[in-house]
Homo-oligomer: A and B are copies of this chain.
Amino acid sequence: MALNPQKATIDPAYLDKLQDYYAEHKVIPSYSVLATLWGVSAKSWVSECVKRFEEAGFLDWTPDRQLKPGKRFFERHVADSPVQAGMPSAAIAEGGDHVASIDEMVVRKPSATVLVRVKGDSMVDAGILEGDYLVVEKQPHGNPGQIVVAIVDNEFTVKYLDREKGTFVLKPANKAYPVIRPRGRLEIFGVMAGLVRRAR
């Protein structure tokens, strides 16, 4: 057990503060600012801690040797059971699930991905509410069963794509709305890749 490769410990409180700072300013601060942020007074100590963050993958360097967020910097914790609810950190060990970032769980092809604000309640039964942001992967076709964003009468419409006797139709997820049977070609803007809602 002496061969435990004992990683240098990193202080989760330091990471928290850095992440919150970054969330506010979108930049990694200088060592002296970091020092005051962390409540320490020695830049040399900051330097030491930064090295640990770097080894752990939370910080990294640009080719020009400027400090930048590392791969794990944007990791978000996925809580599964309340067991860990109270525990005040228990190290950054491999415990629990992580997710790279919300962005990445929902957008696969950034260049083809757009957000579309949902209007109306025609899809409530699919859990899509007015005001939600639909993450849409732009592409001119879709498969039956998928939720697609189509262009009807020069407006976006979010509907289930389905097939009826060889032609595509758009089905709402709300009994109060009718099925849309487009005459002519159905113009599909993209398919739903995900959904994001801001609370309240």
Q: Is the CB–CB distance between A102 and B195 below 8 Å?
A: no
Asked if B76 and A115 sit within 8 Å, CB to CB, the answer is yes
B107 x A102 contact (CB < 8 A) = yes
Q: Mark A124-160, 1 if CB is under 8 A from B, else 0.
A: 1001110011011000000000110001001110000
Asked whether, in the complex, the Cβ of B114 is within 8 Å of the Cβ of A78, the reply is: yes
Closest B-chain residue to A22, C-beta based? B110
Main SS of the interface on chain A? Answer: mixed
- CB of A187, distance to nearest CB on chain B (Å): 8
Bound: A127/B97 CA distance, A: 23
| Best-surrounded residue of A17, A27, A189 (most CB of chain B within 10 A) | A27
Interface residues of A in 93-141 (CB under 8 A from B): 97, 99, 101-111, 113-117, 124, 127-129, 132-133, 135-136
Is the pair A116, B33 in contact by a Cβ cutoff of 8 Å?
no
Copies of this chain held together in the complex = 2
- Cβ contact within 8 Å between A62 and B25: yes
In the complex, whether A16 has a CB less than 8 A from a CB of chain B is: yes
A-B contact pairs, 21 of them (CB 8 A): A19-B110, A20-B110, A23-B108, A26-B26, A27-B27, A29-B62, A29-B64, A29-B66, A74-B103, A76-B110, A78-B114, A79-B115, A79-B117, A80-B156, A81-B156, A82-B155, A85-B151, A105-B133, A106-B198, A127-B128, A193-B198
